[in-house]
Chain A
Amino acid sequence: MSKFNVLEHEIVPEHHLVPVDEEMSVLKKLNIARDNLPKISINDPAIKALEEIHGKLEPGRIIKIIRKSPTAGYYEYYRVVVKSVI
């Protein structure tokens, strides 16, 4: 059967791909340039899992992460896909 899906693990928060036409509104809301967002590698296991849903992802796409916070309930966090991380 299919291999183990990392997105199902309890320690991995929900990852969602932001549609291209919504990217500008996200950047506007955060008042930030795309390069200043936190990064996530294109080789990250969670991105690999997302690629199985959406097909190949290009660097520069924005990922919305819905984190569970011990103090603030749920909140959204954004990361931008990059080719390589330092």
Chain B
Amino acid sequence: MKSLLWKDTKANIKKIAENAPCYYGIDYVPEGKVSSGYITADKTNFEFEVKISSVEEFKKSDEIVLKKKTGLKSIIKIESIRKLDKIPISDFKLSENINEIKTFAEGERFIVKYREKDELTLSPDQKEIIDDAVSRGFDIPVSLANKLIKYKKSLSDDKYEKLLKRVDLELKKREIDPYEAVGIIAAQSIGEPGTQMTMRTFHFAGVVEMNVTLGLPRLIEIVDARRIPSTPSMVIYLTEKYKHDEDRVRELIKNLENTTIIDVADIITDVGEMNLTVKLDKLKSNDRLVTLTDVISALEKIKGIIYNQVDDERILIKLQQESFKKLYQVQEQLKITPIKGVNKINRAIARLDPKENAWIIYTQGSNLKDVLNMEGVDATRTYTNDIIEVENVLGVEAARNAIYREAENTLSEQGLNVDKRHLMLVSDMMTFSGAVRAVGRQGISGRKSSVLARAAFEITSKHLLKAGLLGEIDPLAGVAENIIVGQPVTLGTGAIDLVYKGNKK
């Protein structure tokens, strides 16, 4: 969407800010449709953003704020104005090639869409239910309001009150008590079903090379926050244009799979003649849709070699300077020379998903950043099982969701039913510091503030020695340290200090 950019005086900007929403008369006619405007006072940095709802031809009227007194051509309706931290002119893609704004210009800002929190606003029906419940003295969560709407209409008032009472009771039963040891409960709730997990890996039907680690090894991988999971893989959703078109999907797969020369050809080294022969394997190359021309163009990047095509499946490579060392180096280099594809993605297969009724690509190996920028990929849904990669590309909140999603999938795959809240607690704790941290010595437990708690966990002497050297103080606020010194722990009833006021005489 195009924006209108213009230079204005500070007095005019002040006038707009005071009167907004208002009509503003300008001496310029926008060519296209504009919905927003940016105002600059110093020609190069924009300080104000306005929302424009309509553009009309100029007519005289008293309610219009004027930019100038004469020569006005159109009126824009300004809905709102807000101050920005200065944004430079380089943030705009202008229709003309200029580097400062003297009067008016039109351009497009490289902007990110800002999602409004529309889901959070309540519908009138929901609001009524909640207000009604509050007036009767019940605190009903928003998620339940939807379900209650139909009962409010069908039940009599007496019965509805009874229903609310029952709902409130059931909610109260499920509430956790203050100072309850939720961490321990979560640990045990995940740990117990963990003992029943199998050690198997899951195979995609028909594709032997493709498997995904599941079960206990995968769960350990998730909570350990491994840099690289043992079987990284991606699920790639496609855009509307691509997802029903089999040919396009095949083309995309071809561009996804990372293919090196060794994948499609044999490399024969002749030490006597000091040359190398690349022999294309017909079966493999047809499978990966690679031709000899692709191989030749990949060879162009290697320096210090002379290559000649012998026949339609062999390339003879000679060295510019003959030496055994160089021969060996070139042979090793040839093996890893990429022909096409995205780095790190070894294999990709497409499956027709019955639920979506569209093609979805599954890959072995993962490279989220590059894949998201590919054409035809639905960048809003494409997903990888590598949590650290999600953190690096999409941020810590996404990583938190990824931990939850992966752990939940791993457990439910095995038919184990762990309450979602335990997994949510684990994922919240792992991302608390702003980066994904493992559960254990390297992560959460290793960074507790209390010396005694750390010493009680692992490597006792190191922590105690360090604390002694640095003169650390332990306020005895946690559980482990209070057990060590023989005090009641700060949980449940132990969390509350009782004060007894004797009878005053």
Contact = CB atoms under 8 A, between A and B. Distances in A.
A39 B111 CA distance: 26
Contact of A44 (B143, B395, B447): B395
Interface in A1-46: 1-16, 38-41, 44-46
Given A47-B395, A71-B420, 20 more contacts: A2-B110, A2-B111, A4-B372, A4-B373, A7-B112, A8-B112, A8-B380, A11-B398, A44-B434, A45-B392, A45-B394, A46-B395, A46-B397, A54-B85, A66-B117, A71-B143, A73-B141, A74-B119, A85-B433, A85-B435
Contacts of B405: 11
A65 B397 contact: yes
Contact of B112 (A11, A52, A70): A52
Nearest to B115: A14
B93 to A, nearest CB: 8
B432 interface: yes
Contacts, number: 121
A41 B397 contact: no
A10 to B, nearest CB: 5
Interface residues of B, number: 43
19 contacts: A5-B112, A6-B393, A7-B115, A8-B113, A10-B380, A11-B398, A11-B405, A12-B398, A12-B401, A13-B397, A14-B115, A46-B394, A46-B398, A66-B119, A67-B397, A68-B119, A72-B143, A82-B434, A85-B434
A52 B91 CA distance: 9
A74 B120 contact: yes
Interface of B: 84-87, 110-115, 117, 119-120, 141-143, 372-373, 379-381, 383, 390, 392-398, 401-402, 405, 420-421, 424, 428, 431-435, 447
B394 A55 contact: no
Contact of B434 (A13, A49, A74, A79): A79
A16 B395 contact: no
B87 A9 contact: no
B361 to A, nearest CB: 17
A15 B433 contact: no
Interface residues of A, number: 44
Contact of B395 (A6, A39, A52): A6
Contacts of B395: 6, 12, 40, 44-47
B222 to A, nearest CB: 15
Q: Kindly list the 4 A-B residue pairs having the minimum CB-CB distance in the complex, ordered from nearest.
A: A55-B85, A73-B143, A85-B434, A39-B434
Contact of B432 (A8, A39, A49, A72): A39
Contact of A11 (B114, B394, B432, B435): B394
Nearest to A86: B433
Given A7-B113, A72-B141, A12 B394 contact: yes
Nearest to B87: A55
A55 B433 CA distance: 24
Nearest to B419: A71
